[in-house]
Amino acid sequence: MNTYKFNELTLGLKAEFSATVSLKTLQQFRDLSGDENPLHLDTEYARTRGFDGQVVYGLMIGAFYSRLFGMYLPGRNGMIHSVDLRFVKPVYVDDKLFIYGEVTYLNDALKVIEISAKVLKDNKTEVSRAKIRGGMFE
Amino acid sequence: MKSETLNRMKEIFRDVFDDQTIELSAETSAKDIDTWDSFNHINLIISMEQAFKIKFDISELSSLKNVGEMAALIERKSGA
């Protein structure tokens, strides 16, 4: 876990990591959220809707933005205030995802930072992007 | 305080507080808007900075008492 303090952050500072969503974690998210929409759980149904298989819940991708902010940029000293996120392409179970973040706004007076983030599938196709705003304790 | 500044501030207030009925006067303060808490205050200040292309100092922010003082500060910093 990174431990950046506010005065150590600079515009353009970047972080990245990779992740996948397994069938097991998809089912755990179903249990957590109570969202049983068959688009996420039934491969055949998802195909009838034009997808290649069961579609990963968008907010599971959102969970990676939580990891990006809480573990990497800035890490321990930050707390998310808001996330403006978009899902632009479907994600499927076991897709190889790459999560990127960059510091794009720093407010000295309020100790607030903004991270522009995106998720690429196979490191080439953008599947989601987000603006994450948060405060810093130190 | 110019009416143009106040009108732009009103649009920002309505957006941040998600309330299209908000009207502003020089005397409007946090006690007049129920959802003006510390969290929305941060959003408000950032939105003002981005809209007017200015940067507040922490000493300036801590002394603001109402919308009129905020408008005066914005006009001073933006040269409006």
Q: What residues 2-31 of chain B have any CB closer than 8 A to a CB of chain A?
A: none
Whether residue A85 has pLDDT greater than 80: yes
Average pLDDT for A64-84: 97
Residue A40 counted as domain residue: no
Looking at every residue in chain B, the average pLDDT score rounds to 92
Residue A39 counted as domain residue: no
Looking at every residue in chain A, the average pLDDT score rounds to 97
Instruction: Find, among A66, A81, A76, the residue nearest to A17 by Cα.
Output: A66
Beta bridge partners of A129: A86, A118
Average pLDDT for A96-101: 98
Average pLDDT for A62-88: 97
* Beta carbons of B28 and B67 less than 8 angstroms apart: yes
Residue located via tokens 């990006």: A68
Residue B53: what pLDDT?
A: 94
pLDDT digits (tens, 9 = 90+) for B17-42: 999 999 999 999 999 999 999 889 99
Residue B79: band (very low, low, confident or very high) from pLDDT cuts 50, 70, 90: confident
Residue A138: what pLDDT?
A: 92
Q: How close is the nearest chain A Cα to the Cα of B3, in Å?
A: 27
Does the beta-carbon distance from B61 to A109 stay under 8 Å?
yes
pLDDT digits (tens, 9 = 90+) for B41-77: 999 999 999 999 999 988 888 889 999 999 999 999 9
CATH code, domain carrying A65: 3.10.129.10
Residue A103 counted as domain residue: yes
Angle, helices A58-67 vs A23-33, to 10°: value is 100
Q: Please tell me which residue of chain A has the smallest CA distance to B42.
A: A110
Whether residue A77 has pLDDT greater than 80: yes
pLDDT digits (tens, 9 = 90+) for A114-136: 999 999 999 899 999 999 999 99
Q: Which residue ranges make up each domain of chain B?
A: 3-78
Cβ–Cβ pairs < 8 A, chains A and B: 26
Chosen for mutation from A84, A108, A110 (greatest number of chain B CBs closer than 10 Å) is A110
The domain in which residue A107 lies consists of 10-21+58-136
Q: Please tell me which residue of chain A has the smallest CA distance to B54.
A: A107
Q: The dihedral of CA A5, A129, A81, A23: what is its sign? A: negative
pLDDT digits (tens, 9 = 90+) for A7-24: 999 999 999 999 999 999
Residue A114 counted as domain residue: yes
Average pLDDT for B9-13: 97
Q: How close is the nearest chain B Cα to the Cα of A120, in Å?
A: 29
Q: How close is the nearest chain B Cα to the Cα of A114, in Å?
A: 11
Backbone conformation region of residue B68, classed left if phi is above 0, alpha if psi is from -120 to 50, else beta: alpha
Does the beta-carbon distance from A112 to B42 stay under 8 Å?
yes
pLDDT digits (tens, 9 = 90+) for A45-67: 999 999 999 999 999 999 999 99
Whether residue B1 has pLDDT greater than 80: no
The topology (CATH level 3) of B3-78 is 1.10.1200
Residue B80: what pLDDT?
A: 61
Instruction: Find, among A52, A47, A55, A129, the residue nearest to A88 by Cα.
Output: A129
Residue A50 counted as domain residue: no
